A and B are shown apart, each in its own frame.
Chain A
Amino acid sequence: MFLAFDPTTNPINNTEWGFPLLEIIHITGFTLSVGTIAIVDMGLLGWGKRGTAAQLLKETSTWTLVGLIIMLISGPLIFSSDPNMYLGNGSFRFKMGALLLAIIYNYTIHRKVAKSGAPPGGLSKIVGIVSLVLWVSVVFGGLFIAFV
C-alpha cells in the first residue's frame, strides 16, 4: 500500500516548514502524553509529595489522551514523508513495537494498578518503573531512527 504512495508529491516534502513543524508538534504531543503518564508513575513510585496515583491519574488522564491524539496524528504524517525509509529502519520498527506495548500497558495494567488506590508498594513500584522504561524506549527508538 505504501509502496504505491509517491512521497515526492506529499505536501510535507514540498514545503520548507512542513516537516520540522510536524516534528515540533510531535514533540509537544508526546511531552504532554508521556509527561502526564510520568506524573502518575511518580505517584506509583511514591515519589510525589501529595496525591496518590489514583488521584493523579484522574487529574491528568484527559491531558494524556490529548497528547496521545496529537502524537498519533503528527507521527503518521511524519511517517508519510518517506514510508519506505521508515519501514526499513530498525529503530523505527523497535519504536512501533515499544509504542504499541506502552499504549496497551498504559490502558490496562498501569491504569488498573493506579486506580486500585493501593499504597505505593512493591507491585505499584514495578508497574511505575515498567511504564517509565517503556516510554523512554519509545523516545529513544524515535531519536535513533536518524542514527541507524
Chain B
Amino acid sequence: MSIAESIQSIGFLADIRESALVYPVIMATHLACIAIFGGMILMTDLRLLALAMTDRTVTDVVNQFRNWKRVGFCIMVTMGILLGASEAAKYTPNPFFWGKMASLILVAAHAVIFRPMVYNNTAAIDAAPSLPGRAKLAGALSLLIWFSILSNGRLIGYWEGPGSPGKPIASSVRSAPQVAATHAQSR
C-alpha cells in the first residue's frame, strides 16, 4: 500500500471521502472561506498597488485585515488538508495539486521576503513621498501567487489521470460533459 493509500485509509478520512454530504460540505466551506477572506487578500494587495482604499494608509489597511486573513487561512488550510488527505491517492499524481502546493510554498517565501520589508514596515511606506517599489512588487506578486493557487485548485478537478480517461477526480464537473461528447472525454 502506498503512503497516499495509507493516509486516505485512516478511519475519519475514509469516512469523509465516502460521505455523500461531508465531503461536499468541507469543499463548500473551503470555497466560502475563499470568498469571504480572499477579498481581504485582494484589498490588501490592491492597496499596496495604490488601486484600492487609497484614502487610507497602508498601515491601516494591513492592520485592518491581518488577523482576519490569518483566521481565514487557518480554516482554508484545515479544510484543504481534509479534502486532500481523504483523496490522497487521487491527488498525489495530479500535477495541478502539486502546482497548488508549489504556489503555497511561494506564499510562504513571499511572507519571508516581504514581511520585514513591507508588512511589518508600513510606517516607512506611508512616510515615503511616493509608494515604494517594494510595496507594489509585494502586492503584484501576492495577487499572482494567489491567482495561481485558485486556478490550480480548480483545475485539480479536471485532470484525468494516467490511464483513466474521462474520469473526473471531483464530481464537481458534471455540467457540460453530458451534452458534449468531445468534452465528456476530458472531464
Interface residues of A (CB under 8 A from B): 7-8, 10, 12-14, 16, 19-20, 23-24, 27-28, 30-32, 34-39, 42, 47-51, 59-60, 63, 78, 81-82, 85-86, 132, 135-136, 139-140, 142-147
Known A38-B36, A50-B64; contact A27-B178, beta-carbon cutoff 8 A = no
**A143 with B176, Cβ < 8 A, contacts A31-B34, A51-B56, A63-B46 known:** no
B35 within 8 A of A: yes
Interface set, chain B 5-55, CB cutoff 8 A to A: 20, 24, 27-28, 31-32, 34-40, 42-43, 46, 52-53, 55
* Docked-complex contact B176 and A38, CB < 8 angstroms: no
B57-74 interface code vs A (CB 8 A; 1 in, 0 out): 000100111011000000
A–B Cβ pairs within 8 angstroms, 28 of them: A7-B176, A16-B183, A20-B155, A27-B34, A28-B150, A31-B42, A34-B36, A35-B35, A35-B36, A35-B40, A47-B68, A51-B56, A51-B64, A60-B52, A63-B52, A81-B176, A81-B179, A85-B175, A132-B36, A135-B35, A139-B28, A142-B31, A143-B24, A143-B31, A143-B172, A144-B24, A147-B20, A147-B171
Chain A neighbourhood of B137, CB < 8 A:
none
The answer to whether B32 and A136 touch across the interface, beta carbons within 8 angstroms, is yes
Q: How far is the CA of A98 from the CA of B178 in the complex (A)?
A: 26
Residue of chain B at shortest CB distance from A6: B179
Known: A14-B180, A59-B56, A143-B27. 16 other contacts (CB 8 A): A19-B183, A20-B154, A20-B155, A28-B147, A31-B34, A34-B35, A36-B39, A39-B40, A49-B67, A51-B64, A82-B179, A85-B174, A85-B175, A85-B179, A144-B28, A146-B173
Interface status of B158 (Cβ within 8 A of chain A): yes
- Complex CA distance for A132 and B37, rounded to whole angstroms: 12
Q: Which residues of A contact B39 (CB under 8 A)?
A: 31-32, 34-39, 60
Which of these, B60, B150, B180, contacts A13 with CB under 8 Å? B180
Q: Taking the nearest CB of chain A, how far is it from the CB of B59, in angstroms?
A: 9
- B38: nearest chain-A partner, CB-CB: A31
Q: In the complex, what's the smallest C-beta–C-beta distance from B60 to chain A, in angstroms?
A: 5
Q: Which residues of B contact A32 (CB under 8 A)?
A: 39, 42
Say yes or no: A81 contacts B175, CB within 8 Å. yes
Closest B residue by C-beta to A48? B64
**A16 contacts across to B, CB distance below 8 A:** 183, 186
B151 proximal to A (CB < 8 A): yes
Nearest 5 pairs between A and B by C-beta? A35-B39, A13-B180, A146-B172, A31-B38, A34-B35
Closest to A39 in B: B39
Restricting to B107-140, which residues have a CB under 8 Å from any CB of A? none
CA distance in complex: A81, B137 (Å): 38
